[in-house]
Amino acid sequence: MAQETFAFTSSALRSLWLQQELLEQEDRRRALAREWAMRRFLPTSSRPPLTPARRPQYCRDPAVHNALYAGDLQRIKSIFKDEATANLVMETVSEELVWSPEQGLWVLSPRRLQTSPLRIVAGRGYDACARLLLLRGAAADVVVGGRAPLHDCAAAPRADCARLLLDFGADPNVLSDDGSAPLHLCTAPESLGCAELLLSRGARVDLGTRERGLTPLHVAAQQGLVAHVELYLRHGADPGRRSRQGETPLNAACAAAERPEDAERYCQVAERLLAAGADPRAAGRKAHTPLHNACGNGQHRLVRLLLCHGADATVLNCAGFTPLDCAVHSVEEYRQQRPEETIALLLDHGARPVHPKMLMFCCRHPPALELVLNAYDHVPPAKGWVGAVSPELWQVRGGSRGTCSPPPAALPLHTSVQEHQEFYASAAAMAGQPRRLQHLARCTLRRHLGARCHAAIPVLSLPPTLRHYLQLPLQGLIS
């Protein structure tokens, strides 16, 4: 049967030839740009010689993909027989919805994901397959789909495959498209072996990412990786190195310490950094110090550590908030982490009373509210905070709230709630009223001692009961 053909006009053929020529020129330009970038970041001794640009070959065959993802060595041997096939670009195309402002609706757009055979097998720990591809000419350092094989080994982590790549000449400082080195991707506790291996093969411990300037020490501190932090410090990492936003590794650790179960390891990270010379007063993004971050996360153990190393409890961030403001603002979110301990620590290290408008953030946690109110020489007007207290917390049987009467239908009272009713009634009754002379003397002495309260009060030549009173003990009443 005769094969059907389509007759192109001369103008159509010229148009197709021109389009093909433009595509080939663009491919050559991109190949030269990649080669130039590789030569720029590699040391002179390890720069590969310039070779003529070759058009990359793409493979979308699911059978080939399956062989690589399964680590099928025999099939890989039969498929990847030379340098050309070993350096194929493995490509998958999927449709995803994207918003089109021009059309005003969501449209399906093809999304291309690219990787290399070596990336696939190395990132999954198939060292025999990786060795085969390398022996057949796979480039150990080529960046396909944004990463080199060594990046995948560090992120997985796969120490054996990383060692194999390094043995075949992979650069331990190769940068991904987003400017990260393999050491930046060692973000799991299990990646310690990879990190040690990379450093032993010449990875730069203070290399910053291209956009944010984060060093591996920043990353390890942010992830709470104690062993990684110790490793990088032993290899000369600078604990005072700042990112492009001004963040130090200590800032990063204190900002990331959000969950109660992570408190221990972030405290250990901070201890290592402070012992290595990190500055507890170094302000980063938005002028937040490590103390601001620790207070905002309700981490009283971290707050104690920072204050013991000289953190300033009175410093303001760019919004005019002190660490005590941050601690009070986070009371509701971190009620289970004893926020009153953080507040007491700050007051004992010279923190000034917060603005009365901040009382609404701690008024539903009686211990925190009591400490904050006792930092004033008079109780601020109740109208700023009393409305934020749940109705069931007020005294409803024979008590008085002054101008704040309970709602007609009070909620059922529980034993734990009844314990605080007397406190709230006393706080509302004392709003705007003069305090006792004993309390005024306490405020005056604490104001005079300032940041020395924590050290000076316990050694004052006073009766133990009076010394205890000066330390703002929780009594469950405002008088």
Share of the chain above pLDDT 70, in %: 82
> How far apart (Å, rounded) are the C-alpha atoms in residues 272 and 230?
7
In this structure, are 61 and 103 located in the same domain? Answer: yes
In this structure, are 94 and 171 located in the same domain? Answer: yes
Which position has the higher pLDDT, 3 or 443? 443
Please count the structural domains in the chain: 2
Pick from 170, 199, 228: which residue ends a domain? 199
Contact 240, 271 (CB under 8 A): no
In this structure, are 160 and 70 located in the same domain? Answer: yes
Classify residue 228: in a domain, yes or no. yes
Pairing mode, strands 89-100 and 58-59 = parallel
Pick from 277, 312, 331: which residue ends a domain? 277
- Whole-number pLDDT of residue 221: 98
Classify residue 98: in a domain, yes or no. yes
Full domain range(s) for residue 249: 205-277
Tens of pLDDT, residues 51-100: 444 577 899 999 999 999 999 999 999 999 999 999 999 998 877 777 77
Tens of pLDDT, residues 292-334: 999 999 999 999 999 999 999 999 999 999 999 999 999 999 9
**Of 152-156, 272-276, 385-389, minimum mean pLDDT range:** 385-389
- Whole-number pLDDT of residue 70: 95
Is 0.85 topped by the overall pTM? no
> How far apart (Å, rounded) are the C-alpha atoms in residues 150 and 182?
6
Classify residue 284: in a domain, yes or no. no
Pick from 173, 199, 225: which residue ends a domain? 199
